[in-house]
Amino acid sequence: MITGKNCIAGDFSAKGSVVFKTTNPKLNIENPTAFVEATKEEIEEAVSSAWSAFKIFRNVPGKQRAAFLNAIADEILALDQELVDMYVTESGLPEGRAKGERGRTMGQLRSFAELVSNDHWRENTFDAAQPDRKPLPKDDLRKTMIPLGPVAVFGASNFPLAYSTAGGDTASALAAGCPVIVKSHPMHAGTSELVASAIVRAAGKTGMPKGVFSSINGGIQAGVDLVNHPKIKAVGFTGSITGGRALFDLAAKREEPIPVFAEMGSINPVIITPSAIAKRGNEIAKTYAGSITLGTGQFCTNPGLLLTIKDENTQDFVNELAKETIALDPQCMLHPNIKSGYEKKGGDVTSQLGVEVVGKVEGDLEPNYAASVVATVSGTEFLANPKLHQEVFGPFSMVVQCKDEAALLQIIEGLEGQLTGTLIAEENDSLDLVEIVDALENRVGRIIYNGVPTGVEVCPSMQHGGPYPASTDSRFTAVGTHAIKRWVRPVSYQSFPKNLLPDHLNG
């Protein structure tokens, strides 16, 4: 049973009077629970408890933190059908996706648990003293990683579990030894409350300090208050460029600026060579129709931009892609606002000079269902018009037909930073693939060869983050165990007596 309350340092609390409700996008109705927005007093309580907890939690041995993370995974699973039903009701996503995402969320928690079960992740380095070194002796130096402090997490609308309350940001921050305060996403506050209750139970069972986790309901002001609080030391965010950039600017203007790791999505260029189209155009079209419409296109890795060089096969390929895409059943979007955003941005792009809509699902759709769109434009028009470079969040993709290889390279080099870039090519391709890969490397965080960008494996070699605006710091990943590096900083100990060194530096 959900209460609509905030979870402040382990207690459920509702001191405020402002409430909001979530939506069932499939039925296009409001869900019954009224969620009470956190007051300034409650936010203060959450942060000051997190600060007190930090002093203990930062020194909790890795194995105990691992037990906490594993217990969160167990408690999430124990929520069983109640969690699945809440997820489906608030997101419009199917039950299979809910269960898959739950598995991914638990897998992430367990992989961070395994990571911190020993201290390898700290990248400890040791430089032995050389007292007899000439002309000057060298001191004993040891370096390790320590947690930054309480972290504010803003979950994503499009992953109510895996990038939300107990998602990758929370799991990696807790693993690092940082208490977490989540601002629950207002589109799935009920899912968030259930997961928050699981975290609280796990913290209780594994003896974690009160204040190690809180979750607050609220709108923009609650997020602003959280980021502005002097005892918040870092921010994790997944969502729009507008939201991520606003929080980044806010954090930079604080008296003590703090890092904001915002993952803001991209249009994920896919380069399809004429040789690949000539050999297997229909197969590529079918595969890409599936990728463009997967999750109703509501993925940060959605392939929104397909780049090729115009020849005698290009138009057939574009027609086939459009045919395959609109043949797939329209799906529900996450929320009426996401649907209206999709229609507005899609309309902005398709009304630009030179853009042709090749395929669009027509007819009456259910209120929050999305009409998939495939459009095309010439390379020259694309280059000249930055409006065509923006993300249309939903089942939308645009094929850009360049006049030659030089124009293709110019487009890649001119793109904003991207999460992914994909190359669909043949073994003995007519294009210079090395040059294309070189250009892509400079613009993206992950390069896929002969595959699709949707589907983000959770493993140490994954890079989920690219040059701005894909993310605010391309040196870090939001997915995979290296995500822990966002929440720690290096400290060196010089000439330290053994009894004052942290245990893991006593080698």
Q: By CB under 6 A, name the binding residues for ligand NAP.
A: 154, 156-158, 183, 185-186, 219-220, 223-224, 238-240, 243, 246-247, 265, 300, 338, 341, 393
Query: Smaller CB distance to ligand NAP: residue 154 or 369?
Result: 154
Nearest residue to ligand NAP, by Cβ distance, number only: 265
Query: Smaller CB distance to ligand NAP: residue 426 or 473?
Result: 473
β 141-147/234-238 pair status: unpaired
Query: Smaller CB distance to ligand NAP: residue 23 or 275?
Result: 23
- Tell which residue, 114, 174, 119, has the closest CA to residue 147: 174
Shortest Å distance, C-beta 419 to ligand NAP: 8
Query: Smaller CB distance to ligand NAP: residue 86 or 488?
Result: 86
Residue of 300, 324, 391, 402 marked active site = 300
Cα–Cα distance for residue pair 368/375, rounded to 1 Å: 22
Q: Specify burial of residue 373 (Cβ count, 10 A radius: 0-12, 13-18, 19+).
A: buried
Length of the chain counted residue by residue: 507
Backbone angles phi, psi at 14, to 5 degrees: -145, 80
Instruction: Answer for the pair 87, 244: CB distance below 8 angstroms, yes or no.
Output: no
Cα–Cα distance for residue pair 138/45, rounded to 1 Å: 47
Residue of 263, 320, 324, 391 marked active site = 263
- Catalytic, 263? Answer yes
Query: Smaller CB distance to ligand NAP: residue 107 or 336?
Result: 336
Structure token digits, residue 427: 């073994």
β 488-494/11-13 pair status: unpaired
CA torsion sign for 184, 300, 480, 441 is negative
Cα–Cα distance for residue pair 398/288, rounded to 1 Å: 12
Instruction: Answer for the pair 378, 354: CB distance below 8 angstroms, yes or no.
Output: yes
Shortest Å distance, C-beta 10 to ligand NAP: 22
Shortest Å distance, C-beta 315 to ligand NAP: 30
Instruction: Answer for the pair 104, 458: CB distance below 8 angstroms, yes or no.
Output: yes
Q: What is the separation of C-alpha 68 from the centre of its chain, rounded to a whole number of angstroms? A: 23
Query: Smaller CB distance to ligand NAP: residue 185 or 210?
Result: 185
Shortest Å distance, C-beta 181 to ligand NAP: 13
- Per-residue 3-state assignment (H helix, E strand, C coil) for 219-241: CHHHHHHHHHCCCCCEEEEECCH
Structure token digits, residue 97: 């996706």
Q: What is the separation of C-alpha 421 from the centre of its chain, rounded to a whole number of angstroms? A: 17
Shortest Å distance, C-beta 137 to ligand NAP: 52
Backbone angles phi, psi at 154, to 5 degrees: -110, 110
Q: CB-side exposure of 456: number of CA atoms within 13 Å?
A: 26
Query: Smaller CB distance to ligand NAP: residue 57 or 393?
Result: 393
- Catalytic, 300? Answer yes
Q: Which residues are catalytic?
A: 263, 300
